[in-house]
Chain A
Amino acid sequence: SAVISQKPSRDICQRGTSLTIQCQVDSQVTMMFWYRQQPGQSLTLIATANQGSEATYESGFVIDKFPISRPNLTFSTLTVSNMSPEDSSIYLCSVARQGSSGKQYFGPGTRLTVT
């Protein structure tokens, strides 16, 4: 398994500002992902965080709005830029190890409210 922490656990932000969410894993992992869960909805993949290179974004998500960093095999950040109330969601980090049959483990999430 993997122990994943996220900071902050929750935040209330004003529109037009940006928030950076951190994801820390207790051991090296191959894959790191960022998901969004809008109120009352299921999870949607935002992007795959690639170590040492640009993240791979899913359709509907762009780097200017959701810049991602992954400087090493245990840490990643997601920034939500120029926020609007529509960005109010839970943002979750997940990880997977090579050879783990694709099993993904999720962090506790960051609950973001934009006013």
Chain B
Amino acid sequence: KQEVTQIPAALSVPEGENLVLNCSFTDSAIYNLQWFRQDPGKGLTSLLLIQSSQREQTSGRLNASLDKSSGRSTLYIAASQPGDSATYLCAVSWGNKLVFGAGTILRVKS
């Protein structure tokens, strides 16, 4: 069965800290992996997409890495800000279908 797991389930950090969110998946034959952000009561915002042939993607203070052989991805957030507080979702595509992890609830304290 194709499953996605995210650790930790919740994280609280002081402003300015660098942090890492983890995502693991079964079945390394993925098509791509996406990281999303979800704010309370709102839809999803796509942060980064990594193709199966890629090792990492960067956007501003965000960096996502992919290690297919070990079935892992990490989302690195540099110099965290209170505005980064949200739920971060990892989603893996095996073909067209996206399978989501349960998410990491991030709170950045000012």
Point out residues on A near B: beta carbons under 8 Å. 31, 33, 41-45, 48, 58, 92, 94, 96, 101-109, 111
A43-B98, A104-B98 given; 11 more Cβ-contact pairs under 8 Å: A42-B100, A42-B101, A45-B98, A48-B96, A92-B44, A94-B44, A102-B32, A107-B43, A108-B43, A109-B42, A111-B41
Per the bound structure, the CA–CA distance linking A82 and B43 in Å amounts to: 25
Q: Does B81 contact A (CB under 8 A)?
A: no
Q: Which residues of chain B have C-beta atoms less than 8 A from A43's C-beta? A: 44, 89, 91, 98, 100
Binary A-proximity of B76-107 (CB < 8 A = 1, otherwise 0): 00000000000001010100111111110000
Distance from B27 Cβ to chain A, minimum over Cβ atoms (Å): 16
Instruction: Give the secondary structure class of A's interface.
Output: strand
Q: Does B51 contact A (CB under 8 A)?
A: yes
Which among A41, A96, A106, A108 has the greatest number of chain B C-beta atoms within 10 A? A106
Q: Which residues of chain B have C-beta atoms less than 8 A from A94's C-beta? A: 44, 98
Per the bound structure, the CA–CA distance linking A41 and B6 in Å amounts to: 13
Q: Does B46 contact A (CB under 8 A)?
A: yes
Distance from A30 Cβ to chain B, minimum over Cβ atoms (Å): 9
Q: Does B49 contact A (CB under 8 A)?
A: yes
Q: Which residues of chain B have C-beta atoms less than 8 A from A58's C-beta? A: 97
Q: Which residues of chain A have C-beta atoms less than 8 A from B96's C-beta? A: 31, 33, 48, 96, 102
Binary A-proximity of B15-40 (CB < 8 A = 1, otherwise 0): 00000000000000001101010000
Q: Which residues of chain A have C-beta atoms less than 8 A from B89's C-beta? A: 42-43
Distance from B6 Cβ to chain A, minimum over Cβ atoms (Å): 9
Per the bound structure, the CA–CA distance linking A55 and B74 in Å amounts to: 34
Which among B49, B91, B96 has the greatest number of chain A C-beta atoms within 10 A? B96
Contacts A101-B49, A107-B43; is A42 near B102 (CB within 8 Å)? yes
